[in-house]
Structure 1
């Protein structure tokens, strides 16, 4: 009887321990397979739609290795549904922290609330979200997209300050509903209001891709016999516009001026070559900063709700000078 009782008590003890360990993993635990206090981060990327995004992904992956962060990486291929599924998977795996760059601004309330209820902190990178839920993410690391649009618009207003008549501008927008597309549009429009001659005669999404920018620009050229300038909301769409302009027998940078945002290596080269006229930077190398903030968040330290990355602008001469040392 004593042996039986001892066995029963042992089984009961194991059951109690198992039950205690089955609850939510506290924020900051290794989770998802990381051992020895190592942080596990679940990261959902928008996709690989541009040179900027590729550089951003590389920066995050390299920084995770350098910081000894166990990175679980998911590529959404530009689909919000894929990101939501990835985030739910990270919650189920009980990672220590979740970071993601949202495809669009809206539609995140439910999944963010799931992460919050599981005790897993969330960090937004590159793009922000609109949410009705409180305290569902710790911070947002990224550029000021409105300011980027304003810099592009201010250069445009200055460049055409003495234009004798209307200046026809076409706009290549980013992914519909995305944070940078919305805010760069707003910033640019606000800045060019200072010059009533500046007119946006056509605006359409090229989805932040080179092929999309080329296709939309081809349509613009067919529909509008006089185009003076292109505002491309990223380098890749601007490079697509260059191809379309050249195919139409015109010279980009001269017959039709181009202002773009990102300042990737290809965009810098186009500016140095005189095909782009002005370039606004959006630094993709967010990896080291993300890993530093993730460690603070997991440790329970207070972090700013908004962390703005530093960017700059380049004219053709500045791009030529900076190009040899460009890291992306």
Structure 2
């Protein structure tokens, strides 16, 4: 862990409030002692209120994180007696997802939560829902127009790279001529570019560290194994690896084991249960992972319920829910992994 007595350690070595923690007040039954004005917009709480039907449309759950998104949404909706969740099967085909969302619009659901397979391609569908009087909570992959959604909830891709870079930087700050490599995701995605930019910006604070190689994979176990094998073959020695995604990290770890390499530390990304278990065991190269928490889907359900009931968020002075909520990319290592085990996804 970074030295938590240092300014950098305080900024980058500890977990900040996530979207789920921020919105905990949405489900709280505690009385808001500070709210004494009769004109104050009431905050959503866990007590049954106005019935709300939430339409949920996401891409196909062909990845551990995406499957966790669906599970988080279902579980959160199930906690509310006043919420009915109408969830689609999910598809990576844009035309299919558009059709699924239009079906939800025609059903006149109260609120829509949409994680688009392609934000740009689904923007017109978001606009259609908003024009029909159905507020949209845009989850993670952002639409091209802010008019296509009432609220955006997602992860901090730049912050993910930034925190990974600072964690590695603190571990290697006393290593002369340290070398790091990066196993990225899909380069045609903006989120991948943001993760890399954050990582590179963090490393600028450590003049002794140089990134010597970068390989882009595509968020699958197979690609992670293949691309990691290429990195290992090209780089006979380096000190740290940052892998953007724990699913592809499963493959990367296979390649590392097959190569018999244990001469570097590895930091993952997202927060898979397998990564948490490896970090806790502490018998391999994986020492930490940077969260991209699927709990953002649960927070999206909280916000959709509040929208449907015309309420705000407890603990905030504003009458309405915020227009944007960004989850924090906490670094999870052996010192705090037990805290995060319950949200690890398969």
> 1:273 maps to which residue?
281
Q: 1:187 to 1:80 in 2, by over 3 A?
A: farther
1:111-122 alignment runs, 5 A limit: 111-122=125-136
Q: 1:75 to 1:309 in 2, by over 3 A?
A: same
Distance 2:74 2:219 in 1: 22
> 1:264 maps to which residue?
272
The one of 158, 162, 167 aligned to 2:179:
167
Distance 1:312 1:165 in 2: 27
> 2:150 maps to which residue?
138
Task: Report how far residue 164 of structure 1 moved.
Answer: 2.1
> 2:255 maps to which residue?
244
Distance 2:256 2:212 in 1: 17
> 1:151 maps to which residue?
163
Distance 2:328 2:178 in 1: 34
Task: Report how far residue 177 of structure 1 moved.
Answer: 4.1
Q: Which moved more, 1:298-307 or 1:75-84?
A: 75-84
Aligned: 1:189 with 2:200: yes
The one of 236, 239, 259 aligned to 1:225:
236
> 1:294 maps to which residue?
304
1:1-328 alignment runs, 5 A limit: 38-67=51-80, 68-125=82-139, 127-131=140-144, 133-169=145-181, 171-178=182-189, 180-251=191-262, 255-274=263-282, 275=284, 276-301=286-311, 302-319=320-337, 321-322=338-339, 326-328=342-344
> 2:315 maps to which residue?
none
TM-score, reference length from structure 1 = 0.77
Task: Determine which structure has greater relative contact order: mean sequence separation of CA pairs < 8 Å that are 6+ residues apart, divided by chain length.
Answer: 2
Contact 1:221 1:227 in 2 (8 A): no
Contact 1:211 1:240 in 2 (8 A): yes
Q: Which runs of 5+ in 1 are unaligned?
A: 1-35
Distance 1:82 1:221 in 2: 40
Count of matched residue pairs: 285
Q: 1:265 to 1:294 in 2, by over 3 A?
A: same
Task: Report how far residue 37 of structure 1 moved.
Answer: 6.2
User: Residue 116 of structure 2 aligns to a residue in which SS?
Assistant: coil
Cα displacement string for residues 175-198 of structure 1 (whole angstroms, at most 9, x for unaligned residues): 444454232222111101122443
Distance 1:91 1:223 in 2: 52
* C-alpha RMSD of the superposition: 2.6
Task: Report how far residue 199 of structure 1 moved.
Answer: 3.3
Q: 1:101 to 1:202 in 2, by over 3 A?
A: farther
Q: 1:80 to 1:198 in 2, by over 3 A?
A: farther
User: Residue 56 of structure 1 aligns to a residue in which SS?
Assistant: helix
TM-score, reference length from structure 2 = 0.73
Radius of gyration: which is bigger? 1
Contact 2:195 2:244 in 1 (8 A): yes
Q: 1:299 to 1:135 in 2, by over 3 A?
A: farther
Cα displacement string for residues 23-48 of structure 1 (whole angstroms, at most 9, x for unaligned residues): xxxxxxxxxxxxx9642222122332
Q: 1:60 to 1:109 in 2, by over 3 A?
A: closer
Q: Which runs of 5+ in 2 are unaligned?
A: 1-48, 312-319
Distance 1:130 1:59 in 2: 22
Q: 1:161 to 1:104 in 2, by over 3 A?
A: farther
Distance 1:222 1:199 in 2: 18
Contact 2:94 2:122 in 1 (8 A): no
User: Residue 42 of structure 1 aligns to a residue in which SS?
Assistant: strand
